[in-house]
Amino acid sequence: MKNRPFRERLGFALAGIRIVWRREASFRTQCGLAVVAAVATAALRPGWIWAALIALSVALVLLLEMVNAAIEYVIDRLHPDRHDEIMFAKDAAAGAVLLASAASLVIGGLMILSVALR
């Protein structure tokens, strides 16, 4: 699969996004929240730095959600039985998404506060 043309690699990446969209309710929820964050940022017009921070935090949450899904797909395929170490790996990946989501909320709250204090 190495050294494929860019267009083909782009197709693989878009297919991955479609798969996670179809299979993961949490990804769809996070995408909806990303739209809310984008609309709020556009409405508040906080400045380029705040907009960049919101965009980065949204991207981080969505990419971690996709990595979490990828980890779960591989683990479930390789070891479908319940095992403590497998549960720990899945929980750790889910925890990463939770931490990024919490950080994203803090950044959004700080942005709103900075706009309110102008």
Please, what's the b/e burial string for 51-66 (b: 16 or more CB within 10 A of its CB; e: otherwise)?
Answer: bebbeebbebbbebbb
CA separation for the pair 22, 54 (Å, rounded): 25
- Catalytic site residue from 8, 65, 72, 85: 65
* Residue 24 is among the residues annotated as catalytic for this protein: no
Predicted TM-score (pTM) of the model is 0.90
CB 74 within 8 A of CB 28: no
Q: Domain segments of the chain: what residues?
A: 24-116
CA separation for the pair 89, 79 (Å, rounded): 12
Predicted confidence (pLDDT) per residue in 12-61, tens digit:
999 999 999 999 999 999 999 999 999 999 999 999 999 999 999 999 99
Predicted confidence (pLDDT) per residue in 77-103, tens digit:
999 888 899 999 999 999 999 999 999
* CATH label, 24-116, candidates 1.10.287.3610, 3.20.20.70, 3.30.870.10, 3.90.1150.10: 1.10.287.3610
